[in-house]
């Protein structure tokens, strides 16, 4: 499970940190985990994370393009939303539902990609601080972006998310059969039209 | 959260227990929680639970009609699957999807009904023993029965379950907006056709 709270606090600037320092990136990520847990995703800032890590904001930018990218790295998530969007948007619009299902199922088929994501969900299930952070990240950085790109109303976007979330939970955490061992393409055929209906607005 | 493991063990028969004894029902339920956690739902038996509670199986039958009813009472779940099925099956078959969505959303709108269910899910998310028990109860006693009554293939039944499970999680645990505060009938209109498509086979 990703660390979402606690950990050693090291407030204050520590001078002489350079991009080449051995654990600078790791220390920035540890600071990011503490700040995201405390402030949530929306209120966390690169400046605040730099302050928590005791480094210059420019150094944070040296390692991470965006707050989204930093969250993804801090939680060890398998993908940055900004790299997913082009994948989903490329190709015929009438197949976007099918592409989205196939993408999520292919990505989560890899335990190295799946486990940090499931860890984050498990933490959110039992920890109020984590749930706020997860909610803000998903609604702001993931669903909000896809909804905007596809011009889908938020409730439809969340119904689509709920379908995929439920399938991933049923397949990998609850491990219902036959869902747990069904072929990806069988699930794509079953869920594709559902997603298409939600995302077609 | 419901108790799914641990607790004081009291093996062996204790004579002189009568239906009228003050805490007999409670002691049977505590024994049931231990047995379900240890054996899972499928392998647990009324006889085994009676043995664990130190009472005669006939006394267990005096309090509980079935193993399902016992699980429901032991986990403080809001409903017995056998009482839900007639509700879903009554009325036009082409509206069964809509009825199912409305039933789940109306039931979970009541915190007293929702919380034990969410507690069981939370426990299952982080506890391997609990996940086995939850999986067996849902697949055997809930989904298997609905699928049989409606003649729906298991994978379609699980896709329908995943949609509803995802919506309940998104609405009440992750609390995404607008899903968390959307009107029940708005969600019924959105999800009804999805469920109908899955359940129409």
- How confident is the model over B163-180, as pLDDT tens digits? 999 999 999 999 999 999
Q: How far apart are CA A77 and CA A86, in angstroms?
A: 18
Say yes or no: B105 contacts chain A, CB-CB below 8 A: no
The answer to whether A108 and A115 have CB atoms below 8 angstroms apart is: no
Q: How far apart are CA B90 and CA A96, in angstroms?
A: 36
CA contacts within 13 A on the Cβ side of A196:
14
Q: How far apart are CA B164 and CA A152, in angstroms?
A: 20
What domains sit in chain A, N to C, each tagged with a CATH number? 1-76 (1.10.10.60), 81-199 (1.10.357.10)
The 8-class DSSP code of residue A178 comes to: T
CA contacts within 13 A on the Cβ side of B67:
18
pLDDT tens digit sequence for B73-110: 999 998 888 888 888 888 999 999 999 999 999 999 99
Say yes or no: B124 contacts chain A, CB-CB below 8 A: yes
Q: Which of A134, A170, A186 sits opposite B165 (nearest CB)?
A: A170
pLDDT of res. A9: 43
User: Measuring CA to CA, how many Å separate A52 from each of A19, A29, A123?
Assistant: 17, 10, 23
Q: How far is B28 from chain A (nearest CA, A)?
A: 27
Q: How far is A174 from chain B (nearest CA, A)?
A: 6
Is B198 in contact with A190 (Cβ distance < 8 A)? yes
pLDDT tens digit sequence for A95-137: 999 999 999 999 999 999 999 999 999 999 889 889 999 999 9
Statement: residue A20 has pLDDT above 60: no
Number of Cβ within 10 Å of residue B11's Cβ equals 10
Q: What is the mean pLDDT of residues A76-103?
A: 89
Residues of chain B found within 8 Å of residue A139, distances taken between Cβ atoms: 176-177
**What is this model's ipTM?**
0.86
pLDDT tens digit sequence for B37-76: 999 999 999 999 999 999 999 999 999 989 999 999 999 9
Burial class (CB in 10 A: 0-12, 13-18, 19+), B162: buried
B69-75: long-range contacts (C-beta < 8 A, 24 or more apart)? B70/B28, B70/B29, B70/B32, B70/B46, B71/B32, B71/B36, B71/B41, B71/B137, B71/B141, B73/B29, B73/B32, B74/B2, B74/B29, B74/B32, B74/B33, B74/B36, B75/B2, B75/B33, B75/B36, B75/B116, B75/B120
Q: What is the Rg, in whole angstroms, of the alpha carbon atoms belonging to chain B?
A: 18
Residues of chain B found within 8 Å of residue A177, distances taken between Cβ atoms: 139, 154
Q: How far is A153 from chain B (nearest CA, A)?
A: 10
Q: How far is B201 from chain A (nearest CA, A)?
A: 11
Our CA dihedral for A133, A136, A142, A147, rounded to 10 degrees, sits at 160
Nearest CA in chain B to A160: B163
């Amino acid at each position: 499970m990703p660390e979402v709270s606690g950990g050693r606090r090291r407030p204050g600037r520590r001078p002489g940190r350079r991009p080449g320092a051995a654990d600078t990136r790791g220390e920035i990520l540890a600071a990011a985990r503490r700040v995201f847990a405390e402030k949530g995703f929306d209120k966390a800032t690169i400046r605040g994370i730099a302050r928590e890590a005791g480094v210059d904001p420019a150094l944070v930018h040296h390692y991470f393009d965006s707050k989204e990218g930093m969250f993804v790295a801090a939680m060890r998530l398998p993908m940055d939303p900004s790299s997913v969007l082009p994948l989903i948007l490329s190709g015929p619009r009438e197949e976007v539902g099918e592409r989205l299902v196939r993408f999520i199922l292919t990505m989560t088929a890899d335990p190295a990609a799946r486990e940090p994501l499931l860890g984050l969900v498990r933490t959110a299930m039992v920890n109020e601080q984590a749930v706020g952070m997860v909610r803000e990240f998903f609604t702001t950085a993931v669903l909000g972006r896809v909804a905007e790109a596809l011009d889908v109303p938020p409730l439809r976007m969340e119904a689509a998310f709920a379908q995929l979330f439920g399938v991933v939970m049923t397949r990998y955490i609850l491990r219902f059969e036959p869902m747990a061992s069904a072929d990806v393409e069988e699930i794509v055929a079953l869920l594709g039209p559902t997603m298409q209906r939600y995302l077609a607005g």
